[in-house]
């Protein structure tokens, strides 16, 4: 069990480092141009969302808090016209936060997580977002930190992967979120012995984690609500991984409240995604709106969902390897996400 935990820590650290390298590459281009290209900023937000989700799943709440605050920071930048001074300050704050996350991935191996330091970074970001104060002693401190060069750990690349690591991730995620959200959820997963390329495996992992978060937060009802509706108080989620000729098929199903087609369409109409009548769309087309960038039916964001980034990240990950996601749902009965990826 200890060896498995060490391996999970290694995979988590590897994923964090890869994402941070990509985030920094995007920031370098933005610094040269003086602004972020919209698509690149969306990619950056998806990577932060992934770090936040993975760290929460592993129980590393210092990293989760910092990633969450950094996500808030870049959403502010996305939604506002910022001055050059603000822009540079945001990049400095980002560098501070990314340095912290990288250091924590190393400290995790020796169980020396510096949670207080993580909270101080969160405070820096929150102070900026609420007060917009730049002329203070913290600014010099941030610039000094930004100039420091962090050593990079070369990723340990596996050419082929089965889905046993995904199974452990899914179990831990469900355990953590069930406790946080006061829900009872059981998981059944099949097909974990199927082996695919590392790239496809990683993209499946990204998608499944985000879909599970969505299912637990949005789909599975609280025990008392389930009992009132004639259901078992314990919610059920299943993940079925299979191959059909040269096609990888992954189905993630829950027996929760299902999707509200009319409400989704109404939200899409308000956001300008559609402009005509609901009769012109199939159920599947309407359900797919929840994977649009920035789409959410939640009025406020939590640490787990509500930003409209999670399912967008899932869809983006699967599309990047030539796959697609189809959503099936029945109100009051549950929802199934069907992922299909060509293997050749």
Q: Is 334 exposed, middle or buried (0-12, 13-18, 19+ CB in 10 A)?
A: buried
Same domain, 244 and 329: yes
Q: Residue range 256-268: average pLDDT?
A: 92
In a domain? residue 236? yes
Closest CA to 60 of 115, 11, 21: 115
* 217 and 74 in a common domain: no
> Are 125 and 185 part of one and the same domain?
no
What average pLDDT does this structure show over 116-141?
Answer: 67
Residues 208 and 132 in one domain: no
Summarised one tens digit per residue, pLDDT across range 136-155 is: 445 555 555 554 433 333 33
Print the domain residue range for 102: 2-146
Classify residue 61 by burial, with Cβ atoms within 10 Å: 0-12, 13-18, 19+: middle
173 CB-side CA count, 13 A: 27
Residue 165's pLDDT is: 82
CATH code where residue 284 lies = 3.30.565.10
| Mean pLDDT of the chain, nearest integer | 83
Mean pLDDT score, 290-301: 69
255 and 326 housed in the same domain: yes
Does residue 151 form part of some domain? no
Give the integer Cα–Cα distance in Å for 17 and 102.
Answer: 7
Percentage, residues of the chain above pLDDT 90: 40
313-338 pLDDT, tens digit each:
888 889 988 999 999 999 999 999 99
Indicate the number of domains in the chain: 2
154 falls within a domain:
no
Residues 165 and 95 in one domain: no
| Residues above pLDDT 70, as percent of the chain | 83
Global pTM value: 0.58
- 153 in a structural domain: no
Distance in angstroms (rounded) separating the CA atoms of residues 65 and 55: 9
Give yes or no: residues 139 and 201 share one domain. Answer: no
* pLDDT > 70? residue 343: yes
Residue with tokens 């199974």: 167
In this prediction, residues 119-148 reach a mean pLDDT of: 64
pLDDT 10s digits, 59-117: 787 888 899 899 999 998 998 888 888 898 899 999 999 999 998 888 876 666 555 56
* DSSP, residue by residue, 58-92: HT-HHHHHHHHHHHHHHHHHHHS---HHHHHHHHH
pLDDT of 303 above 90: no
Within a domain: 36: yes
Q: Report the alpha-carbon distance of residue 273 to residue 85 in Å, rounded.
A: 34
Residue 232 in any domain: the answer is: yes
- Residue in the structure block whose two tokens are 């990293």: 63
**DSSP-derived 3-state class of residue 249:** strand
pLDDT, residue 326, reads 96
Q: What is the CATH number of the domain that holds 126?
A: 1.20.120.160
């Amino acid at each position: 069990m200890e060896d498995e935990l060490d391996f999970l820590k290694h995979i988590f650290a590897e994923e964090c480092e890869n994402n941070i390298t990509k985030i920094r590459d995007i920031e370098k281009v933005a610094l040269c141009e003086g602004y972020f290209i919209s698509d690149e900023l969306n990619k950056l937000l998806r990577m932060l969302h992934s770090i936040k989700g993975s760290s929460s799943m592993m129980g590393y709440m210092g990293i989760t808090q910092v990633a969450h605050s950094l996500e808030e920071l870049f959403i502010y930048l996305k939604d506002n016209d910022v001055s050059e001074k603000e822009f540079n300050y945001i990049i400095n704050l980002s560098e501070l936060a990314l340095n912290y996350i990288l250091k924590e991935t190393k400290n995790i191996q020796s169980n020396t997580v510096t949670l207080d330091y993580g909270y101080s970074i969160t405070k820096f970001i929150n102070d900026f977002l609420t007060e917009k104060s730049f002329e203070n002693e913290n600014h010099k401190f941030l610039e000094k930190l930004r100039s420091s060069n962090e050593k990079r750990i070369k990723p340990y690349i596996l050419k082929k992967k089965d889905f046993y690591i995904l199974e452990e991730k899914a179990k831990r995620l469900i355990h953590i979120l069930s406790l946080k959200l006061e829900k009872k959820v059981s998981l059944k997963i099949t097909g974990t012995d199927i082996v695919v390329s590392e790239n496809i495996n990683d993209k499946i992992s990204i998608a499944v984690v985000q879909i599970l978060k969505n299912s637990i937060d949005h789909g599975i009802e609280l025990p008392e609500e389930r009992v009132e509706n004639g259901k078992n108080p314990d919610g059920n989620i299943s993940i079925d991984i299979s191959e059909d000729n040269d096609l990888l098929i992954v189905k993630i199903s829950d027996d929760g409240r299902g999707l509200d087609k009319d409400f989704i369409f109404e939200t899409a109409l308000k956001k300008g995604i559609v402009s005509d009548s609901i009769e012109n769309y199939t159920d599947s087309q309407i359900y797919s709106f929840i994977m649009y960038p920035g789409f959410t039916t939640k009025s406020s964001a939590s640490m787990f969902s509500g930003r409209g980034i999670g399912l967008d990240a899932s869809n983006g990950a699967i599309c990047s390897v030539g796959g697609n996601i189809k959503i099936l749902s029945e109100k009051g009965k549950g929802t199934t996400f069907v992922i299909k990826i060509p293997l050749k």
